[in-house]
Structure 1
Amino acid sequence: MTLRHRPERRLRRLAAVLLACVSATQAAHAAPATTVRPARETLDAIVDDAIARYQPPGLAVAVIVDGEVVYTRTHGERVAGTGEAIDRDTLFKIASNSKAMTAALLARLVDQGKLAWTDPVVRHLPGFRMHDDWVTREMQVRDLLIHNSGLGAGAGDLMLWPGPNRFTRADVIRGLQHLEPVYSFRSRYAYDNTLYIVAGEVAAAAGGAPYDVLMRREVFAPLGMDRCQAGQWRRDEVGNLAQPHANGEAGAPVAVGLDAEVVPDVPMMAAGGLRCSLDDMLRWTRMWLRPEQSGLDAEGRPWLSRAQREEVWTAHMPMPLTTRMREWDDSHFSAYGYGWRLTDVDGTWKVSHTGTLSGMYSALTLLPQLDVGFVVLINGNADELRTVLTQALVKGFTRPGEAGLDVAHYAALLARERAARPAEDREAALAQPRTGVAPDEMASLTGRYRDPWFGDITICGDGARVEFRSAMSPRLHGTVMRSGSRLLVDWTDPGVDAEAWLDFARAGGQGTRLSMAKVDPEADFSYDYEDLDFERVDDCTTP
């Protein structure tokens, strides 16, 4: 047995122990005969406090109990300042909550005998390549869904966003071979998006139709998710769309990245590109909580077989159990299924996922043993809002009647976490004054640079400034600035919210190389500048 197989063997033993713990947790905490429901006034108070505290541009919230929608609430505007109100049919980008739908699509194909979870990926996509040939051969369909590839968190995400851009799914898949792993295959969890794009293409190959066609046919149509959108569509024909927002002056929301008339079929569709309304997400939620009542075919058979439902919600990959999870929820395990996060909270099972795009946040939380589900959709930058709102809603069911577990309580805990973090270096970097750089100051460094997976960029003079431009990702355009002793790029687009350091190096006769890194180390990992390795290939005067 080679050394490469040993981490997988250890991981399987650990997963078996973890699965036993999950089963024991479920058996020890059987669902009560009747779930205690907070009064509507209690739920309203939670949502009111969240709105008042964080003032999102738009918000849609719902609670479903025992198969019944017991609470819905919509607030705000699709685009700030327009007066166009959010309602239950408003489409939101659900971001990474798309992953569970992609996994379910694959599960449908498994039920239909068109693929198996243990199929090698190359059986369906012969051109698929990872950086390591052994990993290429061994990668199975199931591995695409559980973040165990060995790639670093968010590796290759700059091919997906900020969008829209010029990368295709073929570009993303072709670029994987250039992304060097930072861990051994199957040895640990590190969140990725790019392999979900591969999963979508596996579905297309096995299902005999493009991903968006399969998603509409196999998921949206049978479950009655009529407003959900996949692939390319026309904005004005669909209508009622929430748009993403960034924080403008004095924190006021400003719409960014507005949809054009034709909404494109973006490469990240299978990882985070689907859009759905609140009512669509409630139908999706009901199917998982009440499969015997939702999505039945003409013969009364459930939309997914019991075997595939269990496979999707099996703890396939251990995840870190954080201090917050232990202290807030008394959690004992954490794992990833196929497109779902699995844990326990206050003695009951929790199945959930979140979705995060610049200016759009979502959360879907299920407590299957209590037959309870929550949907939260927000069209603004709202990480903390999503966290405290979801947490307060969950506690209303897992610790009913216990005072003080409200929005204010969890907001205070987050503030305490921030205060405890050493932030001196981060704050110093962000606070450094910036000055423009004249082209003659960088004459020896300007030119065209190339990365094997991201493609070409130019760093060239434009009047009195030096501009950074990406050929494949047009929104990555900004001005080169000096901050202290270093250079950074200040992006022009307010929706691109993670500035990047520019570090140039000359390696003997090998020419000039450029590496990049996030100025704010706490910025979203999808700005994976650290995976880039540019080489200067031409000067600025060449057409």
Structure 2
Amino acid sequence: MSTRLIRGVQVVLALAAALGGGNVFATTPVELDREVDALVERYHLPGLAVGVIEDGEIVYTRTVGETVEGTGDPIAPATLFKIASNTKAMTASVLARLVDAGELQWEDPVVKHLPGFRMHDPWVTREMQVRDLLIHNSGLREGAGDLMLWPEPNDYDRGDIIAGLAHLKPQRSFRSGYAYDNLLYVVAGEVAAAAGGASYEALVRREVFEPLGLTGCRVGAFDLESAGSVAQPHSHRDGANVVVNRDDSRVPAITSAAAGGIRCGLADMLKWAQTWLAPDPSQKAWLSDTQRAALWASHTPLPISQRDRDWNGTRFRAYGYGWRLADIDGEWSVSHTGTLSGMYSVLHLLPDRRSGFVVLINGSGDRARTVINQVLVKHFTRPDESHTVERYANLLERQPVQDGTNVSKPDVSVRRPATGEELRHWLGTWRDPWFGEIRLCSEGDTVRFAAAKSPMLAGVVMESAGRYLVDWDRDSVDAEAWLFPRGDGEQGRRLEMAKVDPEADFSYDYEDLSFVPAGGCD
């Protein structure tokens, strides 16, 4: 083939991609391997799995690393990862299947299915519909009440979630804006259970896993050995990857299952993606076109960051039922991410191309996920340009300085244990209406904070720069909390809390806590 003809083909392919009319994935497997290797090296990842779909067909898969670093147990296509909030699309699909079956309607009041459901405002309680549970428009603060879900394990059940919602004060009015929420997905799972006549876990197996052939996915309790290969979450500390929150031999059912509790391997996640991009006849029959459209309809507008504008030319972002919708370089994008301590995932679809990809990571992968997502999507939408891990990793490192949005973490490196004497007026048992009781009591020469129903939230009270903070015992609880004694007199006293690092994960919603005296230390 002549050089002129080769160049002509390249121009045609680039033009087709620019017009969105062709399925062009210009990167070869060798080039993808190079970018995956660069990602692992740059971010010191213990393991990951990557799969790419083009025009409905799987064109690339790669697994790297180990389920537990240093064991020699390799990541494989069937290795289970916590997909975290990528669970939300599966929860929404369970509800959509029940709508198709006539068991509920999106516009049903939540109280029709859960009579004990209450929000802080009686009008909101009455008006909240099933659809509102999925689209982050409740008016609550971002991540409100998440301390009843994480850190795990804890002793909150789904009844506690439903009871606790009545005590979470809204930050804005109902349906007036977007703030990411997990608790209402737990409620959505209970609505499904009430309408479907089975537990949430049984419904996911019946309505999603079984009809779609997702045979490796797990929800609810299971035996670790029988599940085969299971990736464990890691944190990167002091130059090494360390397992955090390692699974016991019997993995328990968790309260947060409907918000982020499903585990799947790469092979099943790619099959799940194909269900939406290029369904076979059985998958097409699994969900009606009406409900497929409902899940991908724009329900709540989302803010558009400067990075989205700069990197992708984004002009539109919205939340559907369990999916995020956007335009990237003028093309329709449907995606979601998943984040848990030591586990990161992304499923990204370009429906008009019937193309997309899945990435699963079992380490400290926040920035790694952002970078690989950008590299892979650009190889579809801008194949005529150079898009590498190095390029986007460097841009990401410079971005906080450029956009001025970062808030510096206070320096609390100089600290000392607080004494019982200086906190003598604050020692005792305290109660928050949704979180429950905590003890603030002397233990030897220190004062300890301990939550009754969240045993991971236990630690030593420290003084730093004239303020008190809680230094948690577990390193996996990676967001320290300010502890603020407030008020005077027995009736006016309260304890409040806040994140020491303003940029810590929003699920550490200490700001929603307000404790009042409940008794003494004895």
TM-score for the superposition, normalised by structure 2: 0.94
**C-alpha displacement of 1:509:** 4.1
The equivalent residue for 1:364 is 347
Is it true that 1:328 corresponds to 2:311 in the alignment? yes
Mapped contact 2:431–2:517 kept (Cα < 8 A):
yes
Which of 161, 170, 175 aligns to 1:172? It is: 161
Cα-to-partner distance string for 1:116-175 (whole Å, 9 max, x where unaligned): 100100111111000000000000000000000000100000000001100001101110
Mapped contact 2:18–2:382 kept (Cα < 8 A):
no
Give the share of equivalent positions with the same residue, in percent.
Answer: 57
Is it true that 1:530 corresponds to 2:511 in the alignment? yes
**C-alpha displacement of 1:443:** 1.9
Cα-to-partner distance string for 1:370-418 (whole Å, 9 max, x where unaligned): 1111101011121100000110011111000212x21111112111112
The equivalent residue for 2:332 is 349
Which of 493, 497, 500 aligns to 1:519? It is: 500
**C-alpha displacement of 1:439:** 2.3
The equivalent residue for 2:256 is 268
Which of 73, 78, 85 aligns to 2:62? It is: 73
Counterparts of 1:71 and 1:371, CA distance in 2: 15
Which residues in structure 2 correspond to 1:284-303 (within 5 Å)?
284-291=272-279, 293=280, 295-296=282-283, 302-303=285-286
Q: Quick one: which amino acid aligns to residue 522 of structure 1?
A: E
Secondary structure class of the residue paired with 2:470? strand
Q: Quick one: which amino acid aligns to residue 59 of structure 2?
A: V
Mapped contact 1:342–1:351 kept (Cα < 8 A):
yes
Is it true that 1:205 corresponds to 2:194 in the alignment? yes
Return structure 1 stretches of 4+ with deviation > 3 angstroms: 28-31, 420-425
The equivalent residue for 2:438 is 457
The equivalent residue for 2:5 is none
The equivalent residue for 1:258 is 246
Counterparts of 2:66 and 2:331, CA distance in 1: 36
Secondary structure class of the residue paired with 1:237? coil
**C-alpha displacement of 1:45:** 1.9
Structure 2 vs 1, CA of residues 157 and 376 (structure 1 numbering), >3 Å: closer, same or farther? same
Secondary structure class of the residue paired with 2:408? helix
Is it true that 1:375 corresponds to 2:364 in the alignment? no
Counterparts of 1:175 and 1:200, CA distance in 2: 16
Which residues in structure 2 correspond to 1:332-481 (within 5 Å)?
332-403=315-386, 405-420=387-402, 426-427=408-409, 429-481=410-462
The equivalent residue for 1:238 is 227
Counterparts of 2:252 and 2:406, CA distance in 1: 42
Counterparts of 1:352 and 1:389, CA distance in 2: 14
The equivalent residue for 1:8 is none
Q: Quick one: which amino acid aligns to residue 324 of structure 1?
A: R
Mapped contact 1:287–1:295 kept (Cα < 8 A):
no
Mapped contact 1:430–1:520 kept (Cα < 8 A):
no
Is it true that 1:114 corresponds to 2:103 in the alignment? yes
Counterparts of 1:45 and 1:36, CA distance in 2: 16
The equivalent residue for 2:4 is none
Secondary structure class of the residue paired with 1:331? coil
Q: Quick one: which amino acid aligns to residue 345 of structure 1?
A: I
The equivalent residue for 1:6 is none
Counterparts of 1:431 and 1:421, CA distance in 2: 25
Is it true that 1:46 corresponds to 2:27 in the alignment? no
Cα-to-partner distance string for 1:32-79 (whole Å, 9 max, x where unaligned): 244344211221122111111111111111101122111111111111
Structure 2 vs 1, CA of residues 326 and 33 (structure 1 numbering), >3 Å: closer, same or farther? closer
The equivalent residue for 2:472 is 491
Mapped contact 2:400–2:406 kept (Cα < 8 A):
no
Counterparts of 2:500 and 2:136, CA distance in 1: 26
Cα-to-partner distance string for 1:163-204 (whole Å, 9 max, x where unaligned): 110000110111000000011100101100000000000000
Counterparts of 1:34 and 1:106, CA distance in 2: 32
Q: Quick one: which amino acid aligns to residue 217 of structure 1?
A: R
Which residues in structure 2 correspond to 1:25-36 (within 5 Å)?
32-36=21-25
The equivalent residue for 2:6 is none
The equivalent residue for 1:11 is none
Counterparts of 1:425 and 1:460, CA distance in 2: 33
Q: Quick one: which amino acid aligns to residue 372 of structure 2?
A: L
Counterparts of 1:325 and 1:475, CA distance in 2: 36
Mapped contact 2:22–2:353 kept (Cα < 8 A):
no
**C-alpha displacement of 1:354:** 0.3
Secondary structure class of the residue paired with 2:285? coil
- In structure 1, list runs of 5 or more residues that go unmatched: 1-27
